[in-house]
Amino acid sequence: MNDNPLHALKELGQHLWLDNLSRALLQEGTLQRLIVEDGIDGITSNPAIFQKAIVGSPWYRADLERLRGAGLEPEARYEALAIPDVQAACDMLLPTYVASAGEAGYVSLEVSPALAHDTAGTLDAALRLRQAVVRDNLLIKVPATPAGVLAFEQLTAAGVRTNVTLIFSLAQYEAVAQAYLRGAQRWLDAGGDAQSPRAVASVFLSRVDTLVDQRLAAIGSTPAQALQGKTGVALAKCCHQRYLELFHGPEFAALALAGMRRQTPLWASTGTKNPAYSDVLYVEALIGKESINTLPDATLAAFRDHGRVGDTLGEGLAEAQLQLAALAGLGIDLDEVGDTLQVDGLRIFAQAYDKLLAAVM
């Protein structure tokens, strides 16, 4: 195990999460092996992951048949299947949570994508799910839509631990970070325990490259071609730099002094979609402390097999900033790209959620 590059990645201070959760992973011992052998110290899930898990696995059949006779609505049936998996994963990661003093060891559970533009509905669902799971190492996942960001601020002000997802631009990251600053201050002003809030900001990468590369290909010039395949990594590096400015700067200084946790950037959508690019592109270029990388199974296996480790997250910031500036110079509006991708991501999750609900009817 000593030559496992995943261990070296963690030695450089990066948390490594698995972007998958299913009953098969739990019951067949795979998740426990990943925790012990690879150092996985967190799990992310989403409607698409649970749709694939529940529809394609025999592990849910007996429970599903029982629930179909219980007179429950489809969403309640889905939650009755998913919540025990989340609880079991939380329990497996509890030693990590305790050993890290609450910094790691979390499992994410997402609110319904139908609530993406409903602040009050998101708040209600988040509080209900937290009460149903009853685990300290649960993160409630909400989208970085304007309504979701408002809900996130209020959840932070109420001490609810949260994963803000579907961030595709610097502007979206900024909104999420500022919401955490406000919510954390409100929590502290109300007399809350500074160590209670925990939040991560999930920045999606490969989908950014897919759309930006399409637009660069449409431009077709040599300078445009030279920019392909670099935007996702550049976005992550610039987001992390903004994280350092905000959470190690004057805006967070009083909260830090009180003992408040920083909101950690998380690299999501790290499975390479373009086969012309390295299958570990979004891992090797973004290794560094005060960050999380959540990997799908295939990317985890690829990095275990041939990943190269270096303290790379802080490198190449100037080049990353030039990349984003060059895209703007070619007329590619990255705020618009981020908004387009967020709408598309919500559509994908909503479709998966609808298929999931249909499967449990």
| pLDDT band, very low/low/confident/very high, at 95 (cuts 50, 70, 90) | very high
In whole angstroms, give the CA distance from residue 322 to residue 319. Answer: 5
In this prediction, residues 252-273 reach a mean pLDDT of 97
- Please state, for a pLDDT cut of 70, what percent of the chain lies above it: 99
pLDDT tens digits, one per residue of 125-142: 999 999 999 999 999 999
Catalytic-labelled residue, pool 10, 141, 230, 237: 141
In this prediction, residues 53-74 reach a mean pLDDT of 87
In this prediction, residues 283-297 reach a mean pLDDT of 97
Active site residue 141: yes
Tell me the whole-structure pTM to 2 decimals: 0.96
In whole angstroms, give the CA distance from residue 233 to residue 203. Answer: 10
328-to-164, 221, 227, 238 alpha-carbon distances in Å: 26, 15, 12, 15
- The structural domains of the chain, with segments of one domain joined by +, span 5-359
| pLDDT band, very low/low/confident/very high, at 2 (cuts 50, 70, 90) | low
In this prediction, residues 54-73 reach a mean pLDDT of 86
Whose CA is closest to 159, among 110, 128, 124, 195?
195
| pLDDT reported for residue 56 | 77
In this prediction, residues 255-276 reach a mean pLDDT of 96
Q: Average pLDDT, whole number, for the chain?
A: 95
Q: Provide the angle, in degrees to the nearest 10, between the axes of the packed helices 61-68 and 74-99.
A: 140
Give the ranges where the chain is alpha helix by DSSP (H).
Answer: 5-11, 23-27, 30-33, 47-55, 61-68, 74-99, 119-133, 146-157, 170-189, 206-219, 222-226, 231-247, 250-258, 281-284, 297-306, 317-329, 334-359
CATH number for the domain running over 5-359: 3.20.20.70
**Segment holding 141, helix H or strand E:** strand 138-143
pLDDT higher than 50, residue 1: no
